Structure 1
C-alpha cells in the first residue's frame, strides 16, 4: 500500500483524545469475535506494512505485535471501518488462541438469566506455555 492510500485511510478514522481507536478482531473463517484491543496510527501503519496485526498496549504504552511472545499471532484478512469512523473491525486469520487465558476467544464468560456467569469455552492451551518470561 502506498503512503497516499494509507494517509487517506487514516484520515477517515476518528481517533479518541489519546489517539486510540477500538479494534475488534473477528476470525475470518469461523466468524466469532476473538478479542478487542486498541490501535493508534503507528499500529495501523505497522499492521498494513507487515500483514500481521499490531495493537497499542495502553498498559505498556508501546506497540504490541500480537503473538510476539506467545506465537499466537493474527494475519490481517480485511480491515473495516465502521460508519462513524470510530471503531475498526479486523477480519483475521487467528493462529492459535487469542486470549492470554489460553482460550480461543477473550469472550468466554456469558451472563445467565439468573445473574450468574457461565464459562462457555475451555482452556485450549496452558497459559504458562504461551509466554516466555
Structure 2
C-alpha cells in the first residue's frame, strides 16, 4: 500500500474562511447522510473524542452532532480526499442525521424538472 505519516489537521486545504467540507457517510450501508463544515479545531476535536464535531457557519461556533438531539455520529474513520480539500467521515449514525428529523439531508430528488420528496420525517 502507500506511505504512512502523522496526520496534521493544519495540513489540510481550508477555504478562505478556514473551513473544509466534510461528508458524513453511514459506515454500515454506505448511505450519504449529510455535508457540514469543519475547521482545524473541529477536525482535531473529532479525532480526539470520536464524536463528530462540526463548525456552524450560522452560529459561528462548534457543534457536536447529536449533542442536543441525541442523534450522535460516532466516528469510525476519517478520510482525506486526493486534493486534501474535502473530508469523508465514516460514521455510525444514531437516529436521523438531518435537522428536519429525516434519516439523511439529501431527501429531495430533482426528476423531470420537479422536486420530489423521497422520505418523510421520522416520528
Q: Name the counterpart of 1:42.
A: 41
Unaligned runs of 5+ in 2: none
Write the mapping of 1:24-35 to structure 2, written as runs, cut at 5 A. 24-35=23-34
- TM-score if structure 1 supplies the norm length? 0.85
CA RMSD of aligned residues (A): 1.3
Write the mapping of 1:16-95 to structure 2, written as runs, cut at 5 A. 16-95=15-94
**1:2-41 Cα deviation digits (max 9, x unpaired):** xx93xx4324310111110000000001111100000001
1:42 partner SS = helix
- TM-score if structure 2 supplies the norm length? 0.92
Q: Name the counterpart of 1:100.
A: 99
1:37 partner SS = strand
Count residues in correspondence: 119
Give the number of the structure whose residues are more often strand, by fraction.
Answer: 2
Give the number of the structure whose residues are more often helix, by fraction.
Answer: 1
Q: Name the counterpart of 1:131.
A: none
The answer to whether the Cα contact below 8 Å between 2:20 and 2:39 also exists between their aligned partners in 1 is yes
- The 1-side partners of 2:77 and 2:94 are apart by 16
* Pairwise CA distance, 1:87: 0.4
- The 2-side partners of 1:77 and 1:116 are apart by 36
**Structure 1 ranges of 4+ moved more than 4 A:** none
